[in-house]
Amino acid sequence: MLQFVVSGLRMGIRGRALQLVFALGVLTIFLAYFSAAFSPRQPRTVALDIGLSGIRVSLVLLSLLWIQDFVVREIERRTVFFSLAYPVPRSAFLFGRYVAVLLLSALALLIFGLLLSLVVALATRYEQEFMPALGLPFWVTLFGLWVDSALIAAFALCLASISTVSALPLTLGMAFAIAGKALGPAMAYLAAGADGQAELVARFSPILAAVRWLLPDLSRLDWRDWPLYQVPLPDGAILWALLMAAGYIGMALLAGNLIFERRELH
């Protein structure tokens, strides 16, 4: 499996499209710096909030593009036959590529995190009344974003193992990322009464109750309130979110491997 991880790392670093997305992520972080000027009272908090959102979007796009490049395009171009010529099971190829995506996204996250911490520190010349926490809360929040991208990558990898349409893993992966992030806030809004709109609650509550068994609540991996406002997370929030993510990642990888082992490649 190691050879597939190493080759995936080389492909990820040399990919031009992926370099453009990485540059977009860096640009977003610097836009967070300039956005601080629009908040005369909490500029560093605004910069950190926008920067975290930019990092999440960039990591998701990078992970999906890496899955597209490492798996989908290899199958489409038939170069996967050279990889499968090794005397190793197909699962080694699939899991090796996934590990490469995890390592590359971790490297990108480290760079984004260092840049964002620097940008937030320089976002204003005066001290706020409530300063954002750039220590442990900040890095734990970034770790949550990394787990979020790992989960989305596992879902895309499962799709890539069965799809015969090259754009499907990328397209559905993006839709999955948006829907999973919106699921938690939507359920909370309906549970709170939807601002008194009883008809809205009655119509969509059963739908979301069914969807929650199919989609993970990715908003549970967003812990930005901790570094932004130094609001302690509820007891067990991180643990249960990680268990949810680990369970979904495991199921997606297992399903993708079972499908890929039986797939006829032509």
CB 96 within 8 A of CB 86: no
CB 67 within 8 A of CB 150: no
Torsion on CA atoms 182, 188, 189, 194, rounded to nearest 10:
150
Q: What local confidence, expressed as pLDDT, does residue 201 receive?
A: 66
Q: What local confidence, expressed as pLDDT, does residue 189 receive?
A: 72
pLDDT tens per residue, range 226-238: 998 888 888 888 9
Q: Name, in order, each residue with C-beta under 8 angstroms of 92's C-beta and a sequence gap of 6 or more.
A: 1, 4, 86
For residue 160, with 0-12 CB atoms within 10 Å meaning exposed, 13-18 middle and 19 or more buried, which class applies? Answer: buried
Per domain, the residue ranges of the chain are 2-262
Q: What local confidence, expressed as pLDDT, does residue 4 receive?
A: 66
Q: Name, in order, each residue with C-beta under 8 angstroms of 149's C-beta and a sequence gap of 6 or more.
A: 56, 59, 60, 62, 63, 105
Q: What local confidence, expressed as pLDDT, does residue 251 receive?
A: 93
Q: What local confidence, expressed as pLDDT, does residue 99 receive?
A: 92
pLDDT tens per residue, range 2-33: 666 767 677 767 776 667 777 877 788 778 77
Q: Point out the residues of the chain with pLDDT beneath 70.
A: 1-4, 6, 8, 12, 16-18, 37-41, 79-87, 124-129, 190, 192-196, 200-201, 264-266
pLDDT tens per residue, range 173-193: 999 999 888 887 877 776 766
Q: What local confidence, expressed as pLDDT, does residue 208 receive?
A: 72
Q: What local confidence, expressed as pLDDT, does residue 244 receive?
A: 93
